[in-house]
Amino acid sequence: MGNGFPAPEVEVGRIVFRSWEHEWQTGDKETFSLASAKKLLPSEITRPIYEALERWERDLLRSSLPYPPFGLRIRRAKSEWLDLVLSEYNGELLCYGLENATKYGLEGRSIGELCPNWDAALPEPRSKQGRFGITLHAPLAGSNVTWAYELEWRPAVFPEQGVNIDDLLRHFSPRYRERPIFG
Amino acid sequence: MIPVDDLISELGLIRNALGEETVEPSRRPRRRGPRESPAPERVRGDPIFDSGQWDVTDPDLWEEEKQRGRRAVEGDGSAGQSGISRAGIEALAWYVSFHDDRRAWGVYIPLSSLALMDELYLSNLRIGRDRRLNLAWSALLIHEQMHFAVDYACAWFELVLRAPIRREFMARFKGQLPFGGLTPSEAYLEIEEAAANAHMLRQLARKESRQVMRTIEGFIERQPPGYKEGLRATSDASFAEATAETLRSYFALWAIEHRLDFGNPKTDWLRLLPLDDESASSECPVYVINDLDEIGMAAGSLRLIQCISEIVETADFEKQFRRQDAKVRSDWDRKKEEIKIRLPSPPRFEKLKDSKPPTWSLRLRAGHRAHLRPPDPGTTAWRAVAIGNHKEMGHG
């Protein structure tokens, strides 16, 4: 028996954090959270960037829910509902503008604008050999912040625009109907 | 608190909310062969443990089971090969959901688990074995009570939303994948196990010494992912977050389905769990399984004493009894009836240290005591062997 609601579309994905510091330390470009990322520079240098990243991550977490046991998260597909709900937060939580770093003051900004004395804090030498023969370069103060650090909602199921929730609920869906054996 | 039986009746009206597991709930998942599992016995209240007749009858099997138990609890790779399908605390005790088994739901704790946990993780504590067994019991029970609390919270939401939340959730862990491309990355809900172990630590810390807590922390530290994260979830804030994330994990699809804002960080999810509610805890049946022979121990090696339903008064006792004040005699008559139902907690009923043969002291009025000895092998009645005041009984 249905509940009267149309089946919503959902996005299934994961939050990914890309950080040059993490790659420099581990060889891995990405990790799954800010807390799990390895750091290289002193926090007093990078604090303005990480504060913005923490807001960004908090909003990504806020607008999605865990989907075990796959290590994934789900959220309602870009649609009417979340925009409506989240507008209640006076724009504090622009759920589906989250991928856009502009909101957090990172897009189009250079690292040096946010973090004074950046270049002096960089390791020497400022490049080193990474995995697969790739040379890693420490970003200079003039580099874009989003070249060095970025959070991303990465779809894990396609089409990424939305999966019908009934595909996830299967026979537990309130709209589920047994298929007749004949006809 | 709404009785669970009432919840179950209501859940029965929701399609797919209740199921019937085919697995025998009292069967530990690791045992050898198709032998019949021992019948579980319901435990009410706080039991008392007596290991006065501790006897390892098959040392080889005992050693083998210790190794097997360690691998299961610590979740090393070889555990699966030996047929152990549960890891962490769940290798020692488990909770059967009322969503899966309306008849036999509850917490199951085998006596063998208490013996193994004591031997493997608690034996360095400078307290007597009976006390350590009691600690093992408490630790396992409190952990499993967290799973009951989550089960209860799920049921509450299921009634509100008319949705089979728990069974849909568990189906994902049982390999029923919605898409071919999805790969499970955890065999159990790790955050729930962290919350359950954190709950255990928080509860035990209220009454146990620092030394005991360090030992329990060491036990948790050796457990698999999720379980061991309980060590970092004991503060009020981190425990609340672990609990919230557990419930969000269960409810996520239904939150989207019903347009509910479950991600709101200002919601106090802990309030939905009946954790500090004693009447709620007593709603969850607890069963003990006497399976000591399966680990190479004599059946009476470890006894869980809930009540004393049969007492024989020895001739010496009767002689001393006749000398007592009328009020003391009447108190004994009353206590004899009370302990048929439930034993008082220590020190009102406690084993006398180093007593041979093992003797228990039951406190009566005005500093008086009665001394009781447990049944000899093959018998069922306790023996009342002495009665008198504190000094006469050698307590002073």
Looking at chain B, which residue has its C-alpha nearest residue A12? B182
d(CA A25, CA B346): 56
Instruction: Sort A90 into a burial class: Cβ within 10 Å, 0-12 / 13-18 / 19+.
Output: exposed
Q: Tell me how many degrees the CA angle B349-B121-B137 measures, rounded to the nearest 5.
A: 35
pLDDT in tens, B8-51: 999 999 999 998 765 555 555 544 444 567 889 999 888 889 89
Q: Which residue has the tokens 């919601």?
A: B267
CA distance B324 to B320: 7
pTM summary value: 0.88
B125 pLDDT band (50/70/90 cuts)?
A: very high
A62 lies within 8 A of chain B by CB: yes
Interface membership of B176 toward A (CB under 8 Å): yes
Pick B253's closest partner by Cβ from A1, A3, A169. Answer: A169
**pLDDT tens digit string along B97-118?**
999 999 999 999 999 999 999 9
3-class state of residue A96 by DSSP: helix
Which phi and psi angles does A14 have, rounded to 5°?
A: -145, 160
Write down the pLDDT at residue B84. Answer: 41
Residue B22, CB half-sphere, CA atoms under 13 Å: how many? 0
pLDDT at A1: 45
pLDDT band at A87 (very low <50, low <70, confident <90, very high): low
The pLDDT of residue B25: 57
Q: Which residue has the higher pLDDT, B75 or B211?
A: B211
Cβ of A68 within 8 Å of Cβ of B186? The answer is: yes
Q: Minimal CA–CA distance to B172: which of B154, B159, B158, B187?
A: B187
Q: Are B307 and B342 in contact (CB under 8 A)?
A: yes
A vs B: CB pairs below 8 A: 93
pLDDT tens-digit readout, B167-190: 999 999 887 777 777 888 899 999
What value of ipTM does the predicted structure carry? Answer: 0.83
Q: How far apart are CA A63 and CA B74, in angstroms?
A: 35
Which chain B residues touch A162 with a CB distance below 8 Å?
none
- Per the omega criterion (within 30 degrees of 0), is the bond before A159 cis? yes
| Res B140: pLDDT | 98
Q: Which helix (H) or strand (E) holds B283?
A: helix B278-283
pLDDT value of position A85: 54
| B18, closest residue in chain A (CA to CA) | A172
Closest chain A residue to B258, measured at CA:
A5
Q: Give the pLDDT of residue A3.
A: 56
Average pLDDT, chain B: 89
Residue A98 scores a pLDDT above 60: no
Q: Judge whether B258 is closer than 8 Å to chain A, CB to CB.
A: yes
pLDDT band at B300 (very low <50, low <70, confident <90, very high): confident
- For the stretch B329-382, pLDDT in tens is 999 999 999 999 889 988 899 888 888 888 999 999 989 999 999 888 778 899
State the Cα–Cα distance between residues B134 and B49, nearest whole angstrom: 6
Do residues B76 and B87 make contact, with C-beta atoms less than 8 angstroms apart? no
Mean pLDDT of A81-90: 51
Domain boundaries, chain B: 4-295, 307-389
| A2 contact B CB<8A | no
Residues of B in contact with A79 (CB under 8 A): none
Q: Give mean pLDDT, residues B240-268.
A: 92
Span of A122-136, B139-153, B218-232 with lowest mean pLDDT? A122-136
On whether the CB atoms of residues B98 and B105 are closer than 8 A, the answer is: yes
Distance of CA B95 to the CA centre of its chain: 9
**DSSP-assigned letters across all residues of B295-320:** GTB-TTSSEEE-----EEE-HHHHHH
**pLDDT attached to residue B356:** 83
Average pLDDT over residues B370-396: 87
Residue in this structure with the two tokens 């520079």, named with its chain if needed: A41
Inspect the interface and report whether the beta carbons of B253 and A165 lie closer than 8 Å.
yes
Q: What token pair was written down for B54?
A: 């501790």
Q: Nearest-CA distance from B268 to chain A in Å?
A: 15
With cut-offs at 50, 70 and 90, classify the pLDDT of residue A182. Answer: low
pLDDT score of A130: 85
Q: Measured between beta carbons, which residues in chain A are less than 8 angstroms from residue B16? A: 171-172
CB proximity A157 to B under 8 Å: yes
For residue B51, the distance in angstroms to the closest alpha carbon of chain A comes to: 41
- Pick A71's closest partner by Cβ from B173, B185, B257: B185
Q: Percent of chain B scored above 70 by pLDDT?
A: 92
* B164 vs A: CB within 8 A: yes
Total residues belonging to chain A: 183
Which residues in chain A (68-87) have CB-CB distances under 8 A to chain B?
68-72, 74-76, 81, 85
Find the mean pLDDT for residues B53-61.
Answer: 94
* pLDDT over 50 at A97, yes or no: no
Please check whether residue A174 touches B, CB under 8 A: yes
Min distance A148 CA to chain B CA atoms (Å): 29
Mean pLDDT of chain A: 84
Number of Cβ within 10 Å of residue B285's Cβ equals 18
User: Which residues are CB-contacts of B82 (< 8 A; sequence separation ≥ 6)?
Assistant: B30, B68, B71
> A68 to chain B: which residues are within 8 Å by CB?
169, 172-173, 186, 189, 249
CATH superfamily of B307-389: RelE-like (3.30.2310.20)
E-strand ranges in A41-139 read 65-67, 72-76, 127-129, 135-137
In B109-176, where does DSSP find H-type helix?
111-117, 129-161, 165-173
**Residue-wise pLDDT tens digits, B278-294:** 788 888 999 999 999 99
